[in-house]
Structure 1
Amino acid sequence: MSTEFCGTYILILHSHIPYVLHHDHLNEEWLYEATAETYIPLLNIMHRLIREGISPQITINISPVLAEQLISSYFVKGFQDYCDRKIRLSREDQKTFAAHNNSKMLKLATLWDKFYSKTLRLFLDRYQGNIIQAFRQLQDDGHIEIITCGATHGYLPALGEDTSINAQIKMAKASYERLFGRAPKGFWLPECGYRPAGQWVYPLTHRRNQPARYRPGIEQFLGENGILYSIIDQEQLRKSPSPQVNKIPWNTYCLPDHGMHTPMTLFVRDTNLSEQIWNFEIGYPGDGNYLEFHKKQWGSGNRYWRITDKKLDLAYKDIYVPETARELIIQHAGHYKWIIKKTLKSQFLKTAQAGLKVAAFDAELFGHWWFEGPAWLYQLLKWIHHDPEMRITTCSAYQAEHPSSAFIELPESSWGRGADSSTWINPAIEWVWERIYQAEKDMRDLANRFPGRKPPLLRRILRQCVRELLILQSSDWEFMITTNSTKDHGERRVVEHHEDFKRLVQLALSWEQNRKLDPQDLAFLKECEAREEIFADPDPDWYR
């Protein structure tokens, strides 16, 4: 039986939660849930693999805004309180089920108690309350690669000022270097959003008659900041107008270098491999034996039911059986490895060259949305490690071995619906972009008004302006509003950050006149600094 090496698999996990700390307890729980159900379980399975002699070799993006939240002392305390509360509520469930002689539910409540107790113990003892340091150590030891993203996940193709794009990247790079002790090589484009060089007009109905202006492509900003590669979706590749290139997701590609830097390498996310996990209708996470995400116990919020049938009303879901789910995890991991190998081998037989397959997912799918996801990932990485015909490696390792020479052009595109920008730019959210564009202009004016070295108080004001603008630019707010998913929260955050930004601008102008702030304004500045406690060193001069 042949054991000839047929190709490489690259797994990229994109982890991101918008800035939620100090902004509503319910929304803070998004971060606590993702930490308990995704980030700590991912660390756990990677440490388990390493103990077994298997290096995970996955590529993980940790968005800067997520990383900054995970190192916050406010988060550390809040996460401990969250786990303590979940433990207490799980034990209350145990008492309730015991009183009703419901042995099946009692068993599951006990498992939730153990889950949160173990999670809290590992968080405090093994990881010392520092998730980011735990990921950094894995990278320092050569087991994973961590890449970065736009500072607050702003949708780069729609930002109105080149300085805003540059600031999103520079802030991301500065945060990465401070937290991970090196410069990032890879960059996850928020929403995989890309815009080529060319003439540009504001994508707003009443501004479309304004004169167009030339703007560099997104890759030029990345290249100027030392970024070597990024990731696009297969649908974006299909939209490429380059007829001379065989547009298949088996290769890496390069964007034009414009004579300014090393050409930007692109890894292409394979649609079929990704849908096998991502698509709830056809993918493994939709199997009826896995834990139902949407049905939760009143009071505790614990989940005690299995999917049963995707179309079944929540009222009729069956009780979850962990033993059955564990058996399925092994089967589904083996099947997925078989699919990867089958496609790699098919390509190898056609070309006599070892190929490449790339899958990329939101990290929160593994554990949060699909509770069994981390255990499935553990099995998959074991299957691949023990197969001599294939391997898994990181993006940088592959790029070093296989530099690309296939140049392509891309249109403005994303990994959203229709592979275009319509999820983040549409009539329903033009009011959002109006506020962003005005704030960008105001930030540019401030940066030019107060260049160079600044007195300490003015520097604090301008840095807080940068933080508010960066958070205002988060693509999450547009997504929430467009998809009507937590729409009220998205709208509220846009209004709040825009109003705070405007008041901070007035504080800067007031300082210019008086060289000080009155007590009320100083209290407001301190309040903003305490609430938006991310990014230690934003530079207002980025906007000049």
Structure 2
Amino acid sequence: MAIVLHAHLPYVHSSEPGSLEEDWYFQALLECYIPLLEVLEAAAADPAQRPRLSLGLSPTLLSLLGSAELGARFQPWLAVRLELLAQAHPSHAAAASAQAARLEATIAAWQSCGGDLLPRFRRLQQAGVLDLLTCAATHGYLPLLREFPEAVRGQLLTAVREHERLLGTRPQGIWLPECAYYEGLDRILTGAGLRYAILDAHGLLHGLPRPRFGVYAPIVSPGGMAFFGRDSGSTLPVWSARDGYPGQAAYREFHRDLGWDLPSSELVEHGIASPRPLGLKLHSVSGRDCPLEQKQPYEPKRAAAAAAADAGHYLAGRREQLEQLAGAMERRPLLVAPFDAELFGHWWYEGPRFLAELFRQAPAASVGLVSLRESLGGGQTLQLCQPSPSSWGQGGYHNYWLNETNAWIVPEWHRATAAMVARVNSGVASAQARDLLNQAARELLLAQSSDWSFILRAGTTTDLARERIHRHLNRFWRLLAAVDGRDTPPADWLAAVQREDGLFPLVNAADWASLPLRSPPAG
């Protein structure tokens, strides 16, 4: 079985201290990324275990993890939450004590590694525990960028370059944003040096020809890209709050947060202007249909016992599934279980403990864990198959990112990309113009983030999403005008833009140059 996690957040470095976007990042650090590292490191240190995990780290998330300026604000953020926990009701003493211990341990861990998590990811990859994948540079939804192959190539080449800069090795695997695929993407992927990716099940099952082994073995596309298919039997019990483990009564409730329960005056005293989620949750799920106001106090020991039991139940199900498949296949079956990494710890607080139990119990359960890269190294022949256009989003295709709420963005992307491609193709005369054009490339990439389309469709923080899209596009057009000599931005404006949106230091506007068309073969 291959467990695959995808860790991603939009770029929030430009935010002021205390912003909602900064909270997204710090809560993910506290609840997901740091616990995940701790689980993997502990499992790797135990000779009885053989932990394996494929993990996608998006380039925007890598930029955040590599930011010393943003990292310096994390410890004060933790300290504020420690102070607020002291205001919890006595009936939640056990949960508050456990949460305080987690915050204190995180502060100590952050100090011990100097606020730099990237070397820990690198060491786990070098040890063979992690298989680190990349993603499109800003999580651009590639099927909606396909009108200009240059836009897709710019997303991919920037991602590969940033991954190598921060993690020391060129990635071979990629988590396609939203697992979204369109015809011909495989050739652009291999052209960027990538070799394997994950699709939802119908991306393989609707392929031509239909794969002989379904989703239980990877296929290879005409462009030379290996694709793995998601196994719903291995994913549903873990991600579904309605039908799976996260909705069980003992686990920590996500939606009931101390930030909604404390008086506003208490929040203001600690520099928080209005009620908002703090990442401090002291209630249990208490039942799948239990109203928020009736949630019971969270009991950490009870939740830990449930995670151990659920991990055992999950592994037993996978062993039975593998045994049945092995009797019907001519090759060793592979179950691929992909998830958003933030499910483990942020949405499902006990998720990292569940993973720790999987690693601990897998040997006794006779379930072998393998990374995607490792699974391709066995010398087994892959069936040649053309994958089907698909995504893992609602509806299975592209409609969640192209509908009445967000379709207006697509022509804006196309207009900006057409101008970018034309400008790059015409050449750049000076180093100053090249710097401006590289910054325009950053703004275009940031405007293409699928996060904003998702937010518009979901109906949450839509003003923020619109503001980010317009901000990056407005900056793009002004920078392009400056390259052409039609505008001369004030020095302080340009410096502020380069400071706020200074990610991807190796970005190269030349990636948006049109490739020459190949001549058809003679005869």
Pairwise same-fold verdict (TM > 0.5): yes
The answer on 1:288 being equivalent to 2:283 is no
Counterparts of 1:375-386 in structure 2, within 5 Å, are 375-386=353-364
Counterparts of 1:225-374 in structure 2, within 5 Å, are 225-243=192-210, 245-246=211-212, 248-257=214-223, 263-297=224-258, 298-299=261-262, 301=278, 302-351=280-329, 353-374=331-352
The answer on 1:122 being equivalent to 2:109 is yes
Structure 1 residues 84 and 404, CA, compared in 2 at 3 Å: closer, same or farther?
farther
2:444 to 448, 456, 469: 469
**Contact residue 238 and residue 247 of structure 1 kept, 8 A:** no
**Contact residue 205 and residue 215 of structure 2 kept, 8 A:** no
Q: Secondary structure at the match of 2:104?
A: helix
**Contact residue 252 and residue 404 of structure 1 kept, 8 A:** no
CA distance in structure 2 between the aligned counterparts of 1:317 and 1:504, rounded to whole angstroms = 52
Counterparts of 1:105-504 in structure 2, within 5 Å, are 105-125=92-112, 127-159=113-145, 160-196=147-183, 217-243=184-210, 245-246=211-212, 248-257=214-223, 263-297=224-258, 298-299=261-262, 301=278, 302-351=280-329, 353-387=331-365, 389-451=366-428, 455-504=430-479
TM-score (norm 1): 0.87
CA distance in structure 2 between the aligned counterparts of 1:352 and 1:177, rounded to whole angstroms = 38
RMSD across aligned C-alpha pairs, in angstroms? 1.7
CA distance in structure 2 between the aligned counterparts of 1:490 and 1:384, rounded to whole angstroms = 42
Cα deviation for residue 310 of structure 1 reads 2.1
Q: Which residue of 1 aligns with 2:500?
A: 531
Cα deviation for residue 352 of structure 1 reads 6.0
Which region of structure 1 is more displaced relative to structure 2, 139-148 or 19-28? 19-28
Residue type of the alignment partner of 2:316: W
Per-residue deviation, residues 37-90 of structure 1 (Å, max 9, x unmatched): 000000011111122223421110000111011101222112122112112222
Cα deviation for residue 242 of structure 1 reads 2.2
Cα deviation for residue 368 of structure 1 reads 0.3
Q: Which residue of 2 aligns with 1:210?
A: none
Per-residue deviation, residues 142-182 of structure 1 (Å, max 9, x unmatched): 22110101011001111031111111110011011111111
**Contact residue 401 and residue 407 of structure 2 kept, 8 A:** no
The answer on 1:15 being equivalent to 2:11 is no
- Alignment size in residue pairs: 492
**Contact residue 154 and residue 190 of structure 1 kept, 8 A:** yes
Cα deviation for residue 353 of structure 1 reads 4.1
**Contact residue 416 and residue 423 of structure 1 kept, 8 A:** yes
Structure 1 residues 489 and 247, CA, compared in 2 at 3 Å: closer, same or farther?
farther
Cα deviation for residue 502 of structure 1 reads 1.2
Cα deviation for residue 543 of structure 1 reads 1.0
Cα deviation for residue 241 of structure 1 reads 4.2
Q: Which residue of 2 aligns with 1:52?
A: 46
1:37 to 14, 24, 31: 31
CA distance in structure 2 between the aligned counterparts of 1:404 and 1:32, rounded to whole angstroms = 44
Q: Secondary structure at the match of 1:106?
A: helix
Cα deviation for residue 390 of structure 1 reads 3.0
Residue type of the alignment partner of 1:248: G
What is the percentage of aligned positions where both structures have the same residue? 28
TM-score (norm 2): 0.91
Q: Which residue of 2 aligns with 1:208?
A: none
CA distance in structure 1 between the aligned counterparts of 2:437 and 2:200, rounded to whole angstroms = 37
Cα deviation for residue 402 of structure 1 reads 4.2
**Contact residue 424 and residue 479 of structure 1 kept, 8 A:** yes
Cα deviation for residue 496 of structure 1 reads 1.2
CA distance in structure 2 between the aligned counterparts of 1:483 and 1:92, rounded to whole angstroms = 33
Structure 1 residues 195 and 367, CA, compared in 2 at 3 Å: closer, same or farther?
same
Q: Secondary structure at the match of 1:350?
A: coil
CA distance in structure 1 between the aligned counterparts of 2:441 and 2:65, rounded to whole angstroms = 20
Q: Which residue of 2 aligns with 1:3?
A: none
**Contact residue 123 and residue 129 of structure 1 kept, 8 A:** yes
Residue type of the alignment partner of 2:121: F
CA distance in structure 2 between the aligned counterparts of 1:415 and 1:285, rounded to whole angstroms = 20
CA distance in structure 2 between the aligned counterparts of 1:431 and 1:92, rounded to whole angstroms = 46
Residue type of the alignment partner of 1:146: L
Per-residue deviation, residues 203-237 of structure 1 (Å, max 9, x unmatched): xxxxxxxxxxxxxx111011112211111111322
**Contact residue 136 and residue 176 of structure 2 kept, 8 A:** yes
Q: Secondary structure at the match of 2:498?
A: helix
Which region of structure 1 is more displaced relative to structure 2, 533-542 or 51-60? 51-60
Residue type of the alignment partner of 1:525: L
CA distance in structure 2 between the aligned counterparts of 1:135 and 1:326, rounded to whole angstroms = 26
Per-residue deviation, residues 459-485 of structure 1 (Å, max 9, x unmatched): 221111011000111111111111213
Per-residue deviation, residues 104-142 of structure 1 (Å, max 9, x unmatched): 3123222222111111110220x3211122101111222
